[in-house]
Structure 1
Amino acid sequence: MKRSQRSWHLRLNHFNIIRTTHMDFEQYLTRQRTAIQKNKYSKIKINELFVFARQFHTLLKAGIPLFRSIEIIISQTQNKHLKYVCLIIKSELLEGSSLSDAMKLFPHIFPNFFISLISVGETRGNIDESFNRMATYLDKKRELQNKIVNALIYPVILIATGLVVITLLISFVLPKFVSIFIQNETPLPFITQITLGISAFITSHYIIILACIMASVAGIGINYNTPKGRLQFDQIIIKLPVIGPIVYNIAIIRFARTLGILYGSGIALITSIEMARDIMGNLYLGGFINQAIKSVKEGKGVAGTLNDSGQFPPILVEMIGTGEETGTLDTLAVEAADFLDNETEYIIRRQIAYIEPIALIFIGGLIVIIAASLLLPIFRLASSIHH
């Protein structure tokens, strides 16, 4: 029986695909690959990608062959996008492609950083260690994300609740009371008149206000997607109060950890720096990294250029400098990232400690003003009725 006529048996949870020919199956995978590649929003969550890398590491380290490992991962994966990706990778492996080449089909899921690790692992015969490095990187990244999210939960809830209360008071409660005051010919205090004017303006022009907000957001988005606009945005955001130090540290951590992992896996220094620059996600800081790359090509060190720029923390410069001298650049770069990781957690807590009282005072002050706008006319109305 020809290979194209052999039957394939495929069992997928949540998918009604039970028996199909090899040709139909290949056509099906081709359609799914095209759909996933076109859908840039079908990204895999970091937790799922972490589990994917950790599973691969565990299975390969246990001596299970690559092809069998991907089959086990397919059977255990719940995310439909990741399951499709694994199926397509399996199909590519059957056709003779390497794992790294198969992963290149999905650059929005597997960045060059990951693919380079796998490629080096394939060359050196320690692909399990490549997945271990990938899993470690993702674990640190999700830990930092969780710290930021957990720290922001209370302030966001506080601000959102306060804004909802203020909107309800201005849009519904205040106008009803004002109509009562007008019917009883109660003179409105100055603060009530101002609050009522703001309320009337918002309720009568809310469409224009929303349109202006949407247009502003769209304009910022369009400008951000241009190289010049992105550069300006990245430069401004790291200098902003409160969020600037956090964004800055996250970019530096990404650079240092990626550099250490890539260089430690055997990738050339210049290539490691270039990929770490791309991973850090800040074009402004990336410009200074480009200067460091130029210095390395000229036979100079990385630390000196980073230090001369004045844009990088001393701990990172010193660690990289020591690593260049002792041949432990990979280890010390990761240690610098770990240090900055802990420092970032402290910065987040400190900034949140500033945000919470400011938010309370701001929201509370607005509510007090609105409450005064309601209570003062009530007191006047009660006084006139009494007299």
Structure 2
Amino acid sequence: MGQFRYRAQASDGRRHTGQQQADTPRQARQLLRDKGLRVLSLAPVRSWLLGWPAVLGKADLALLTRQLATLIQAAMPLEEALAAVAAHAAKPRLVGLVHALRKHILEGHSLAQALALYPRAFPELFRATVAAGERSGHLGAVLEQLADYTQARQAAAQRLQMALVYPLILLLASVAIVTFLLGYVVPDVVAMFVDSGQALPLLTEALIAVSGALRRHGWLLPIVAGLAVLASAAALRKPRVRQGWHAWLLRLPVLGSTVRAVEAARFASTLSIMGRSAVPLLDALHIAASVVGNLAIRARLHRVAQAVSEGASLTQALTSSGDIPPMMLHMIASGERVGELDHMLQRAADQQEKTLAAQIALLVSLFEPLMLVVMGGVVLLIVMAILLPILSLNQLVN
């Protein structure tokens, strides 16, 4: 349902201006006439969706998909389902987007065609799956699968974020404490040693130099860090630089295997839902590869789709890519043999995600004591740098 800005004249001759909500300009004119107004001009209100790319969070997308699936499975027409979803939506951005989709549906577009007009809100996976559901006549069931998939991805992202909250707080607290010690505590404590003119230990001199540099130039650190972040972001916008960075990440000892596990689970889960939604395998492979975030892995998975189109089996092509863990390859191979590839892909993705969650939990549990040890070591160095001159002074007095 759209908004129309109008100028109209009442029966007593007074002019009125305002906005009228309606599906079409004809309906807007009729509603105004029912109010006793003679329409002088009528124009659609330009939606913010047309001037700014619509973006939906995972939570909003999952909620929208679940509501649509429930209403469509209850045999409600699509335009009525969209109107009902918009009526119960809390966020203005979501309301505007759903009204825009309903407007396109009333103009004769399919749901997949309407979704394609807002690619920032609905990813390619979502649009292709909806198109397959409309072709098969099982749109409600497909939307239900999409809602489950979106909620699972959102839950996985939230678990990862929650696991990283405490280590991040610990890291920031450690940096703040060390900065405070070096910037304010150490200079006052060691000032008397500097004024005494005695020879200072090397560790104390190094600490005084670091503390002085921090006091004189510490204000530059946030600026330098910000400029470094901006320069890195600008460089990573270039495809060649970003692909080289992603390839380098895969070569790191622990992080590389974790990135591979994350992308493999995402690829398998996406390919599974595409297969269950009756999307052709080659199209599903290209879409699943596009979902992968690491550009180096994405390029190899696109070559997997090319190999399958040339007659290779999916297991053979994935084995040659080298990005899928052996256990997942065994499960995919057995799914191909028994004709239950979609089911085995989902099982493989679930198993990989559980293994990945255990690995991340282990890494986080190791990071916490490691940060404490590092923090304790830094504080120990500061204390030693302060105590060494005191011990030297006591020896001289004795």
Q: After TM superposition, is the score higher than 0.5?
A: yes
Task: Using the TM superposition, name which of 222-231 and 257-266 deviates more.
Answer: 222-231
Distance 1:86 1:197, change over 3 A: same
Kindly provide the amino acid, as one letter, of the partner of residue 151 in structure 2: D
Superposed CA offset, 1:72-125 (max 9, x none): 221222233222211211222222222211111211110111011111112222
Kindly provide the amino acid, as one letter, of the partner of residue 138 in structure 1: T
Superposed CA offset, 1:147-174 (max 9, x none): 2122212211111111110011111221
Distance 1:207 1:162, change over 3 A: closer
Kindly provide the amino acid, as one letter, of the partner of residue 5 in structure 1: R
Distance 1:65 1:377, change over 3 A: farther
Q: Is the 8 A contact 2:260 2:324 kept in 1?
A: no
Residue 19 of structure 2 corresponds to which residue in structure 1? none
Distance 1:45 1:186, change over 3 A: farther
Distance 1:243 1:22, change over 3 A: farther
Once the two structures are superposed, the pairs formed by residues 208-247 of structure 1 within 5 Å of their partners are 208-247=220-259
Superposed CA offset, 1:283-332 (max 9, x none): 21122212221222112211112112333211222222222232221111
Q: Is the 8 A contact 1:254 1:337 kept in 2?
A: yes
Q: Is the 8 A contact 1:46 1:138 kept in 2?
A: yes
Residue 27 of structure 2 corresponds to which residue in structure 1? 3
Residue 89 of structure 1 corresponds to which residue in structure 2? 101
1:295 aligns with 2:307: yes
1:62 aligns with 2:74: yes
Q: CA deviation at 1:240?
A: 2.3
Distance 1:104 1:227, change over 3 A: same
- Rg larger for: 2
Determine which of 279, 289, 294 is the counterpart of 2:291: 279
2:292 and 2:376 mapped to 1: Cα distance? 39
Residue 34 of structure 1 corresponds to which residue in structure 2? 50
Q: CA deviation at 1:57?
A: 1.3
1:149 aligns with 2:165: no
Residue 205 of structure 1 corresponds to which residue in structure 2? 217
Q: Is the 8 A contact 2:264 2:323 kept in 1?
A: no
Kindly provide the amino acid, as one letter, of the partner of residue 289 in structure 2: R
Q: CA deviation at 1:209?
A: 4.3
Q: CA deviation at 1:65?
A: 2.3
Distance 1:193 1:295, change over 3 A: same
2:80 and 2:294 mapped to 1: Cα distance? 39
1:384 and 1:354 mapped to 2: Cα distance? 42
How does the TM-score come out when normalised to structure 2?
0.84
Question: Which of the pair is proportionally richer in strand?
Answer: 2
Task: Using the TM superposition, name which of 56-65 and 342-351 deviates more.
Answer: 56-65
Indicate the SS of the match to 1:171. helix
Superposed CA offset, 1:168-207 (max 9, x none): 1111221222334445556644322211111222333345
Once the two structures are superposed, the pairs formed by residues 260-339 of structure 1 within 5 Å of their partners are 260-339=272-351
Q: Is the 8 A contact 1:245 1:347 kept in 2?
A: no
2:163 and 2:246 mapped to 1: Cα distance? 23
Indicate the SS of the match to 2:251. coil
Indicate the SS of the match to 1:68. helix
2:76 and 2:386 mapped to 1: Cα distance? 73
Q: Is the 8 A contact 2:301 2:321 kept in 1?
A: no
How does the TM-score come out when normalised to structure 1?
0.86
Structure 1: 5+ residue stretches without partners? 9-19
Residue 16 of structure 1 corresponds to which residue in structure 2? none
2:31 and 2:215 mapped to 1: Cα distance? 65
Distance 1:43 1:175, change over 3 A: farther
Aligned length: 368
Kindly provide the amino acid, as one letter, of the partner of residue 324 in structure 2: F
1:81 and 1:22 mapped to 2: Cα distance? 28
Q: Which has the higher contact order (CA 8 A, sep 6+)?
A: 1
Q: CA deviation at 1:53?
A: 1.2
Q: Identity of counterpart residues, as a percentage?
A: 25
Kindly provide the amino acid, as one letter, of the partner of residue 232 in structure 2: I
1:48 and 1:88 mapped to 2: Cα distance? 16
